[in-house]
Amino acid sequence: MKRIAAIATLLFFTSGLSGQISHGGDPVTSSGSLSTSIPVVSTPKVDAHFLRSEDAVTDLHKDIPPRFGVVQTVSINLQNAGSWENLPNGDKVWRLEIHAPDAISINLNFSGFYLPQGSTFFVFNQFQTQGAFNYTNNKTTGEFSTAPIRGDRAILEYYEPAGVQGQGIIELESVVHGYRDFWKQLKAFGSSGSCNVNAICDTTYWGNEIRSGVMLLTASNSRFCSGALIANVPQDGTPFVLTANHCTPSSNNIFMFNYQSPGCTTTTDGPLTQTISGCTLRATDTPSDFYLVELSSIPPAGYNVFYSGWSNVDVAPTKGTGIHHPVGDVKKISHDNDLLVSAGYYSAGNDHWQVVDWNSGTTQGGSSGSPLYDQNHRIVGQLHGGDAACGNDAFDYYGKFSVSWDNSANTAQQLKFWLDPGNTGANYSNGYDPNGSAFSLDAVLIDVSGINRFICGDTIRPKITFRNHGSTSLTSLKINYQLDGGGISTVNWNGNLSTYDVDSIMLPAIYVASGDHIFSTSCSDPNSSTDQNALNDTASVAFRSNADPTIAALYLHTDNFGAETSWIVRDASGKIYTQSTGYQSVNGGEQITEYLCLYDSCFTLVIKDEYGDGFCCTFGNGSAYLTDNFGDTIFSNTTFNSDSLVIPFCIAKNSIDEYSLDEFNLFPNPSNGLINVKTNNASDYQLTVFDAMGRTVYHEPNMNSGTANIDLSHCRKGIYLVQVLGESGRQVRRLVLH
């Protein structure tokens, strides 16, 4: 028989022992000394086409972990299947071949597993080998599981020395028939949405938290979810993993660390060799959809893991970051640069954080259970579900860490008992690195807040947050900042931060003119010395200020399910200019007035409904209307009953000179396309008409008679702006074509 090269892959650890790592070596079969005839057990065929049709529906829901395999129940042990062969020295070998017809992969779940000292266990085929496993792989639960192995056949080999004969236990409970490609289609290296960002791209600032991320198999190791290794208050390295309740982890699940591409461009797959099998279920609850498990062993130093920090304070974070495995792909990172919203899960309530819209990346099926970090790099929730995807601006919902903390007095339904076993009353943890910091002095500038993407007014007041990544306590630091590449200002910070502690400093008010700006900042001179890692010392924020705003008003009356309602305003380039912050679901609906800080330009308002039935009329009679800065109604709607309502509009101040409104007449308005324009004198004017996207649809450079007749009958119905420009100023009027 052809020699099968063993590779040390994929497995595992055991509680209280040296670790559940595969130990290398070759199966006895590869020596050619055994019979070439091995008994075969075949599992039933599966209807892969039907299963994929089911997946096409369920894959659309993040609160259903994606499936890659079907669990086939078996009852196989050393006594009722396979064959034994005696070796010349009295040792024995048991072998069995599992055949899952047309499977892309096979993985195995054992209800009974015990290897006496000196024995070994292999799982292998012509593609790869898993093993050798030995007595250090035994777990107190008596369970065992293997990660997927390529192909539709797998050979099991158990070698038992003469001195321990009869002591071994191998009881195979189920075979997972992989009908979707674990390596290409679903574990889907490179198959997640194109807007997703490889986590490795953000290593400079998020490298620690990225090392916490884990992909786990669930549902008898046939589905995917995400999670994170999380620190406890004593920071003793207890290997807790936080994931989602709907991921339903079990004691025999597999946890995969460091499955990530080594570069920003997804051209290289990540390793699947750093895994742990098995856990103890510690706490779970449904309101915030959390599950806390303790791994069967501490990850070894070679895994280079980080235990993420957390916050149990119920205060809306100013930013949100997610680290996850969408559809089982290599680890990704997503950022929301806006304030998180307290909400229910598609309903009224406040047990979830709502990410209104991701600024980079998104989440997908398989991202469930992944951590949501605040601006201080602390976990504040785990992904429950939502509709966000590449190409939309929909919500995502994360169960609140603050609710999971002690919402229930039952210790099996709270995080507090497990993460703060000494009942210290801690409100946060900054994380724990079992391998220690790589630098003695390393200050990291982790966040700039106080500068929205769009500033309504002429003042910013930046808040700079920094973190000590060095092994030495941080006692002093310089914060340097500048606006638009101008002069550099410096403020000094003094304090005492231990490793991974966080602090912040508020800068003086900075006055800015209207327009686009870049605020840049850096930290330097930690402890009056040189920072040993300068790569993480800088940050910048691009923003637009509106020192002379034009205010519009959106009057919104939701239906009974206002939590489903949201809106965004996009500027003429398509970028989000401002957006809603979340509403409540109440009988009779909620009446809201939102003042929009705009400027002279054209915009698009998009009102969205997560359920797809708008605000009319089954669950209440909602309405929306928008007025300009003169109080004139730009649009109104009482019949919205779909998933989105798109309203392009333009807005402008009346005049920048001393004209009165009577000096520029536009009639009829509304119009069918034939319009008269008249001014009160015959001075030279330019006449321009813009559509709702700011494009010129008519231009008259010399309106020297004081009157003009415009034919816009070729234009679409909608809202337009008519501008008259002269030497002494300009006026703009809104025109409606119907």
- Return the active site residues: 246, 289, 368
Contact (Cβ atoms closer than 8 angstroms) between residue 145 and residue 278: yes
For residue 79 the two structure tokens come to: 């006594």
d(Cα 423, Cα 418) in Å, to the nearest integer? 10
How far is residue 209's CA from residue 434's CA, in Å, rounded to a whole number? 13
Three-state DSSP at 528 gives helix
HSE, CB side, 13 Å, CA atoms: give it for residue 573.
Answer: 3
In sequence order, the 6+-apart residues with CB closer than 8 A to the CB of 230 are 212, 240, 241, 242, 292, 307, 308, 310, 371, 379, 419
DSSP state letters, 432-487: B-TT--S-SS-EEEEEEES--SEEEBSEE--EEEEEE-SSSPEEEEEEEEEETT--
**Could you say which DSSP state residue 326 is in?**
G
Instruction: List Cβ neighbours of 437 (8 Å cut-off, separation of 6 or more).
Output: 469, 470, 471, 499
Helices and strands, number each (H, E), in the chain = 4, 53
Phi, psi angle pair for 83, to nearest 5°: -140, 145
All residues at 6 or more sequence positions from 534 whose CB lies less than 8 Å from its CB, including other chains = none
Say if residues 678 and 669 touch (Cβ distance below 8 Å): no
**Four-point Cα dihedral 267, 271, 277, 281, nearest 10:** -50
CA–CA dist 396, 355 (Å, integer)? 5
Q: What residues are paired with 700 via a beta bridge?
A: 687
- Give the dihedral sign, CA 317/321/324/329: positive
Give the rounded distance of the alpha carbon of 241 from its chain centre. Answer: 17
> Contact at 8 Å (CB) between 615 and 557?
yes
Phi-psi category of 202—alpha, beta or left, where left has phi over 0 and alpha has psi -120 to 50? Answer: alpha
Q: Which of 184, 43, 176, 178 is nearest to 104 (CA)?
A: 178
CB 183 within 8 Å of CB 119: no
CA distances in angstroms from 417 to 23, 293, 405, listed in the order given? 36, 13, 8
Cβ–Cβ < 8 Å for 254, 357: no
CA dist., res. 18 & res. 302, Å (int): 13
Q: Cα(189)–Cα(399) distance, rounded to whole angstroms? A: 28
Q: Which helix (H) or strand (E) holds 576?
A: strand 576-579
